[in-house]
A and B are shown apart, each in its own frame.
Chain A
Amino acid sequence: MLSGTVWMIWPGNPALSAVVLFLIALPFLYAARRPMQGLFRSLTRAISNPLRLGARWLASSAVLLRQRNRLVLLAHGREEAMKSIEREFERVTAVVQRDLQGYPALQRKLMDEITRIEEDYQKCGEVPPPPPEWTKAVGAIAKIKPSGDGLVERILADISQSIDEIYDKVVAEYRRSYQDRHKILKGFQPFWRSLQQTLSKVDKNITGLQGSAAKIDAQVEKVQQINANLDKAEHALGASASIQFAISGLVMLIAIGGAFVNYKLISLPMSAMVGGGDYITDNLQASEVAALVIILFETLMGLFLMESLRFTHLFPLSNVNEKMRRSMMWMSLTILLVLAGVEVALAVMRDLIVSADVALKQSLGNAAVVAPVDASWMMKIPTAGQMILGFTLPFALAFVAIPLEYFIQSSRTVFGNGMVFGLRGLSLLLRVVGVIVKQVGNALCMLYDAVIFVPLLIERMVQGANAGRGVASESAAGETVPFPKRLSDNERRATGEQG
């Protein structure tokens, strides 16, 4: 109580005490004006300057990080494009090797078929021999008019018979000849078909090559854009990385769901293997950790399998030779198979444990009546389902390596961009805070002046009076240059002065 009123000159009147104290302090405050304002400014500068420096450093770091991100993004894009080009070239090489190696045989086949068709065509052009020359003579005799002479009539009859026979023979010959030509023409069909198929195949291969060439062109253009350091390439790669990040993240989430199902499937039976009552932490049983380790091992083996199959490139295996890579593939596949087999066994054990537990609880609830276990095949379906799930999930988990690789690669870009954004935001925040602190210093100085406005007013009046006397004395001495008087419009036009 005493400490609260000790400052009061009149303990019963704090307002009057405060006013009197203020009046006493006013001359001291006025005297200390410059050092106090200097102190305010120094203090606020001591805060605002480091903030400004920090903001500048963050901004420059953001610029550097963005450049670094850009370099990494372009390098990654270049690498991807080069890989794509390499793959397309491999495909083109395979097509060319496969088709052009057989090209001489194909050409020979085509030439043979064309020659054969030509020969057949020529055969089609051959006409049967004309009827013999004597037929004209016989025709002239046949034109003799019947005179009633028996000998002549018999000769004519013989001639007519001969002509008929010859006619029949010639007609038969013509028919046979045309049949032969029809047969030849009919024989054309398979050759035409074969030709058509061969040419279609060639056309397809050429089209495939054209497609590959177009893809190569596109990738080469991309590489050119990357090499030219174009913003377009950077934006395209950045957008691509964001999409990859989102998609691979989604796939990873699905995979995590699968892993969780797998974990639930094997954690209970693992308690029979590693002990049911052992704990690693307060809430984490050893069997649960063991189940987790099994799942992680499966994922690890999947990673190695995908790596050795060249589906992913997470590890630097370029210096591993082909034999080593193949043995690594077989090893990881074997371990994966063994683990899948273990999971099948665990699935069966889980079913046994659950059934035994249910039966026990039934018997504990009512010792007299134990429900008989239905051994029909339908009761085995869930067990079979669990076994299948236990076998397939490890292999499904193995494929998580592919989205994981994309996730890791794209996260570099996404998080890099996020960091740039964060650094910029932080820089802006520091700058704003620095400006606010500086303005607070100015405001404090002005407030100080406002508090001691009476002495300041007196000071200004004194200074004004002194200045008035000084100006008057200087004018009298004629040493000062008068301030130029503003000219009128007419005077300005006359002197040509502008403005």
Chain B
Amino acid sequence: MMRKILNVVAVLAVCLVISACADKKSHAKSVYMLVDTSGTYTQELGRAQALTGYILGTLNPGDSFAVARVKSRSFSEKDIIAKVTFDKDPLQANAQKRAFRDKVADFTKGVTKGSAYTDITGGIIQAAEFLNETGAGRKTILIFSDMQEELDYQTMRDFPINLKGISIVALNVTKLTTDNIDPRRYLDRMEWWEKRVRAAGAEDWRRVNDLEHPERIFDARR
């Protein structure tokens, strides 16, 4: 009788192992947030910090999160302010979230002067590198910027980039003074970015300007 019971338990265990091995697809989420620190946009850093807190609250154990700055040249690991892959243990993950929050807060306090140029493309390429390294199932780049790219004459960003499997969300895209004079500039800028990321193979392109409803950032996707 005991032998039969052991056999049944063994079969159950084997079934469990097989089912555990069945799904190798990663279900983790990976988010890379680019924060524009150029010119007058540094005034928006407080909102970016608050948004970071919200995103930290939505992430689960096993997910990855990074915050990087966008400045004159942004394709560099040095521009990453904080990055983390959360532990599987929820309590450990909570501690990591606190540390992450503190790092972002320190950075926000430390920024006093904006950069001369805005290299969004470089930041996006760096973000794609990071996200692909994490091997997460769902990859998202959040761009907290006015989406006005300005490069110095030496910086080369005019080449095709690869954003396959990555969703891009532009956040808090403020209107510039020139946009107010001619709104077509703003609309054309948005259209240009959409074309560029879709041509790069991005899974999705969205724009969320109302940060009173941050839940809309991840609403359309899982």
Binding site for B on A (CB under 8 A): 268, 271-272, 275-282, 286, 289, 293, 304, 315, 317, 320, 324, 328, 352-353, 356-357, 360-361, 363-365, 367
Please pick, from A272, A286, A361, A367, the residue contacting B89 in the complex, using a CB distance under 8 A.
Answer: A272
**Alpha-carbon gap, A241 to B94, bound state (A):** 55
- Residues in B whose Cβ lies below 8 Å from that of A293: 16
CB distance from B48 to the nearest CB of A (A): 14
- Residues in B whose Cβ lies below 8 Å from that of A268: 90
CB distance from B94 to the nearest CB of A (A): 5
Q: A363-B101, A364-B101, A365-B53 are in contact. Are A276 and B94 (CB under 8 A)?
A: no
Q: A281-B22, A364-B57 are in contact. Are A271 and B27 (CB under 8 A)?
A: no
- Closest chain B residue, CB of each to CB of A296: B12
Contact A364 B61 (CB under 8 A): no
CB distance from A308 to the nearest CB of B (A): 11
**Alpha-carbon gap, A278 to B57, bound state (A):** 19
- Residues in A whose Cβ lies below 8 Å from that of B89: 271-272, 275-276
- Residues in A whose Cβ lies below 8 Å from that of B25: 279, 282
Please pick, from A277, A282, A320, the residue contacting B61 in the complex, using a CB distance under 8 A.
Answer: A277
Is B93 part of the contact surface with A, judged by Cβ < 8 Å? yes
Contact A275 B61 (CB under 8 A): yes
Is B28 part of the contact surface with A, judged by Cβ < 8 Å? yes
Residue contacts A-B, CB under 8 angstroms, 24 given: A271-B89, A272-B89, A272-B91, A275-B88, A276-B61, A276-B62, A277-B27, A277-B60, A277-B88, A278-B88, A280-B19, A280-B22, A280-B23, A282-B23, A282-B25, A286-B20, A289-B19, A353-B91, A360-B56, A360-B97, A361-B57, A363-B101, A364-B53, A367-B105
Q: A357-B94, A360-B57, A360-B97 are in contact. Are A277 and B23 (CB under 8 A)?
A: no
- Residues in A whose Cβ lies below 8 Å from that of B218: none
**Alpha-carbon gap, A367 to B27, bound state (A):** 30
- Closest chain B residue, CB of each to CB of A360: B94
Residues of chain B from 26 to 84 with CB closer than 8 A to chain A in the complex: 27-28, 53-54, 56-57, 60-63
- Residues in A whose Cβ lies below 8 Å from that of B86: 277
Binding site for A on B (CB under 8 A): 1-2, 5, 16, 19-20, 22-23, 25, 27-28, 53-54, 56-57, 60-63, 86, 88-91, 93-94, 97-98, 101, 105
**Alpha-carbon gap, A289 to B18, bound state (A):** 13
- Closest chain A residue, CB of each to CB of B8: A300
- Residues in A whose Cβ lies below 8 Å from that of B1: 315, 317, 320, 324
- Closest chain A residue, CB of each to CB of B105: A367
- What secondary structure prevails in chain B residues at the interface with A? helix
- Residues in B whose Cβ lies below 8 Å from that of A361: 57
- Residues in B whose Cβ lies below 8 Å from that of A278: 62, 88
Contact A276 B90 (CB under 8 A): yes
Contact B97 A352 (CB under 8 A): no
Contact A364 B94 (CB under 8 A): no
**Alpha-carbon gap, A367 to B49, bound state (A):** 10
- Closest chain B residue, CB of each to CB of A353: B90
Contact B23 A271 (CB under 8 A): no
**Alpha-carbon gap, A304 to B88, bound state (A):** 35
- Closest chain A residue, CB of each to CB of B27: A279
Contact A276 B23 (CB under 8 A): no
**Alpha-carbon gap, A278 to B22, bound state (A):** 12
- What secondary structure prevails in chain A residues at the interface with B? helix
Contact A367 B101 (CB under 8 A): yes
- Closest chain B residue, CB of each to CB of A365: B53
For A289, A328, A357, the residue with the greatest tally of chain B CB atoms inside 10 Å of its CB is A357
- Residues in A whose Cβ lies below 8 Å from that of B23: 279-282
Contact A276 B93 (CB under 8 A): yes
- Residues in A whose Cβ lies below 8 Å from that of B90: 268, 271-272, 276, 353, 356-357
CB distance from B146 to the nearest CB of A (A): 25
- Residues in A whose Cβ lies below 8 Å from that of B28: 277
- Residues in B whose Cβ lies below 8 Å from that of A317: 1
**Alpha-carbon gap, A229 to B101, bound state (A):** 80
**Alpha-carbon gap, A280 to B5, bound state (A):** 26
CB distance from B192 to the nearest CB of A (A): 34
- Residues in A whose Cβ lies below 8 Å from that of B98: 360, 363
- Residues in B whose Cβ lies below 8 Å from that of A365: 53, 57
**Which are the 4 A-B pairs with shortest beta-carbon distances?**
A277-B62, A276-B61, A275-B88, A364-B53
Known: A324-B1, A360-B56, A367-B105. 11 other contacts (CB 8 A): A275-B88, A276-B90, A277-B63, A280-B19, A282-B23, A293-B16, A356-B91, A357-B90, A364-B57, A367-B53, A367-B101
**Alpha-carbon gap, A365 to B54, bound state (A):** 7
- Residues in A whose Cβ lies below 8 Å from that of B94: 356-357, 360
- Closest chain A residue, CB of each to CB of B90: A353
Contact A280 B97 (CB under 8 A): no
**Alpha-carbon gap, A314 to B134, bound state (A):** 51
CB distance from B58 to the nearest CB of A (A): 10
- Closest chain A residue, CB of each to CB of B104: A367
**Alpha-carbon gap, A289 to B105, bound state (A):** 38
- Closest chain A residue, CB of each to CB of B13: A293
CB distance from B215 to the nearest CB of A (A): 14
- Residues in A whose Cβ lies below 8 Å from that of B22: 280-281
- Closest chain A residue, CB of each to CB of B56: A364
- Residues in A whose Cβ lies below 8 Å from that of B88: 271-272, 275-278
Contact A275 B62 (CB under 8 A): yes
For B20, B27, B56, the residue with the greatest tally of chain A CB atoms inside 10 Å of its CB is B27
For A289, A356, A364, A367, the residue with the greatest tally of chain B CB atoms inside 10 Å of its CB is A364
CB distance from A30 to the nearest CB of B (A): 70
**Alpha-carbon gap, A277 to B2, bound state (A):** 36
CB distance from B92 to the nearest CB of A (A): 9
**Alpha-carbon gap, A275 to B22, bound state (A):** 17
**Alpha-carbon gap, A367 to B28, bound state (A):** 27
**Alpha-carbon gap, A359 to B27, bound state (A):** 26
**Alpha-carbon gap, A272 to B1, bound state (A):** 35
CB distance from A216 to the nearest CB of B (A): 33
CB distance from B174 to the nearest CB of A (A): 24
- Residues in B whose Cβ lies below 8 Å from that of A328: 2
CB distance from B82 to the nearest CB of A (A): 14
CB distance from A357 to the nearest CB of B (A): 7
- Residues in B whose Cβ lies below 8 Å from that of A286: 20
